[in-house]
């Protein structure tokens, strides 16, 4: 957030007193930068280049310009994956943001039992997405709990092979992802709520503000910076979402739960079309780019 003007001279004074740079610091910076450069930035550049080639991973890459991107236009699986990714961002993102905020508001006040409730909602965050997806596969099995419950309440006709039906696979995968994400977003919002000055609420209460008004005029505006963090985290997380889909359906059946990330992975490492896969990765990058830039601009401003 913006640096208060009162702090500015102090900051400047401190900066001025910083000593000269000892040579050993060169190593302190260069080694980590080199590691990241070699294993992240250099491969990223290669990824962009490879997206302009056809490559099977063995013979030399063949330069095809924008051919891979042109191919996407007529690739039905790509279209499904792109659409599913958008659905995923909207549902996964929207529900976990709104739900996380709701949970944080519900569990914000310190009262008896609140620690237990928070811990319960938070527990799945600790599990890997693969473990999460196995847990939910047990639930979704044809003879599993969901179908048993449906039968028990007389909705036997709704029973389903949830993960094997193209109509339901994507949503069946979404629920475990949300189960795990909601607690995380709740933590972010709880941290944000804790940062709001209680005096604001007291003043509002004296003025006779209702809780809805307090939320609208105090809580929500004060959560602005948290909202932007949550938004970035969610979009980046949804574009990265891979584990849960891969371990539950591998994108199937018939690509019905295919996300860009799973399609990219199977194109690269199963179909061995490394050039086309790289182009898919570039599409994911372009989708994430806006978030990355916003995030950096925000970090940069705070830094000043």
Partner 1 sequence: MTTTRPTPARPAERPAPARRSRRRQARTFGFHLAAGGLAVLWLLPILLVLTTSVRSFSDIASNGLGALPGSFDLGSFGEAWGVGGGGHAMLNSVVVTIPTVFLSLLLAAAAAFALSRYRIPFRRTIILVMLSGNLLPPQILLVPVSKLAELLGIYDTLTALVIVQVGFGLGFYTFVLQGFMRSIPDELQQAALIDGAGTVQIFWRIILPMTRPALAALGALAFTWTFNDLLWSITVLRTETVMPVTPALLGLQGQYVSNWNVIAAGSVIAAVPTVLVFLRFQKHFISGLAIGAIK
Among 68, 93, 124, 255, binds partner 1 (CB under 8 A): 124
Among positions 202-221, residues that touch partner 1 (CB under 8 A) are 210-212
Among positions 34-93, residues that touch partner 1 (CB under 8 A) are 35-36, 38-44, 46-48, 50, 57
* Beta carbon nearer to partner 1, 83 or 139: 139
* Beta carbon nearer to partner 1, 31 or 90: 31
Question: How does DSSP assign the chain, residue by residue?
Answer: -PPPGGGHHHHHHHHHT-----THHHHHHHHHHHHHIIIIIHHHHHHHHHTTEE--SSS--EE-TTHHHHHHHT-HHHHHHHHHHHHHIIIIIHHHHHHHHHHHHHT-S--TTHHHHHHHHHGGGGS-HHHHHHHHHHHHSTTSHHHHHHHHTT-GGG---TTT-TTTHHHHHHHHHHHHHHHHHHHHHHHHHHTS-HHHHHHHHHTT--HHHHIIIIIHHHTHHHHHHHHHHHHHHHHH--HHHHHHTTT-STTTT--HHHHHHHHHHTS--HHHHHHHHHHHHHHHHHHHHHHHHHHHHHH-
Among 77, 218, 229, 231, binds partner 1 (CB under 8 A): 229
Among 120, 165, 271, 290, binds partner 1 (CB under 8 A): 120
Contact between 239 and partner 1 by CB under 8 A: the answer reads: yes
The binding track of 259-278 with respect to partner 1, each residue x by CB under 8 A or -, is: -xx--xx--xx----x--xx
Task: In whole angstroms, give the CA distance from residue 49 to residue 67.
Answer: 13
Among 97, 121, 163, 169, binds partner 1 (CB under 8 A): 121
* Beta carbon nearer to partner 1, 80 or 192: 192
Among 2, 7, 19, 74, binds partner 1 (CB under 8 A): 19
Single out the segment in contact with partner 1 by CB under 8 A; choices: 71-79, 81-89, 187-195, 196-204. 187-195
Among positions 142-161, residues that touch partner 1 (CB under 8 A) are 143-149
Give min distance, CB of 241 to partner 1, in A. Answer: 10
């Amino acid at each position: 957030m913006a640096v208060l003007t009162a702090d500015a001279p102090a900051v400047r004074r401190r900066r001025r007193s910083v000593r000269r740079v000892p040579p050993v610091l060169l190593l302190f910076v260069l080694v980590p930068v080199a590691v990241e450069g070699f294993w992240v930035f250099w491969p990223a550049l290669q990824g962009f280049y490879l997206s302009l080639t056809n490559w099977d991973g063995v013979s030399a890459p063949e330069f095809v310009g924008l051919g891979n991107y042109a191919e996407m236009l007529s690739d039905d699986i790509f279209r499904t994956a792109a659409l599913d990714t958008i659905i995923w961002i909207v549902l996964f993102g929207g529900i976990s943001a709104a739900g996380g905020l709701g949970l944080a508001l519900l569990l914000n006040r310190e009262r008896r039992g609140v620690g237990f409730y928070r811990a319960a909602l938070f527990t799945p965050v600790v599990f890997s997405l693969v473990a999460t997806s196995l847990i939910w596969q047990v639930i979704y099995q044809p003879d599993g709990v969901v179908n048993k419950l449906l039968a028990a309440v007389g909705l036997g006709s709704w029973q389903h092979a949830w993960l094997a039906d193209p109509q339901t696979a994507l949503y069946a995968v979404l629920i475990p992802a949300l189960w795990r994400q909601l607690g995380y977003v709740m933590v972010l919002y709880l941290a944000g709520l804790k940062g709001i000055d209680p005096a604001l609420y007291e003043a509002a209460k004296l003025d006779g503000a209702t809780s809805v008004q307090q939320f609208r005029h105090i809580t929500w505006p004060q959560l602005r910076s948290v909202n932007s963090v949550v938004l970035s985290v969610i979009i980046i997380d949804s574009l990265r979402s891979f584990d849960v889909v891969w371990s539950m359906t591998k994108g199937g059946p018939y690509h019905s739960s295919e996300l860009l990330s799973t399609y990219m992975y199977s194109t690269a490492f199963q179909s061995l079309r490394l050039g086309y896969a790289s182009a898919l990765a570039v599409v994911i990058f372009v989708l994430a780019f806006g978030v990355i830039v916003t995030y950096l601009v925000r970090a940069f401003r705070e830094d000043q």
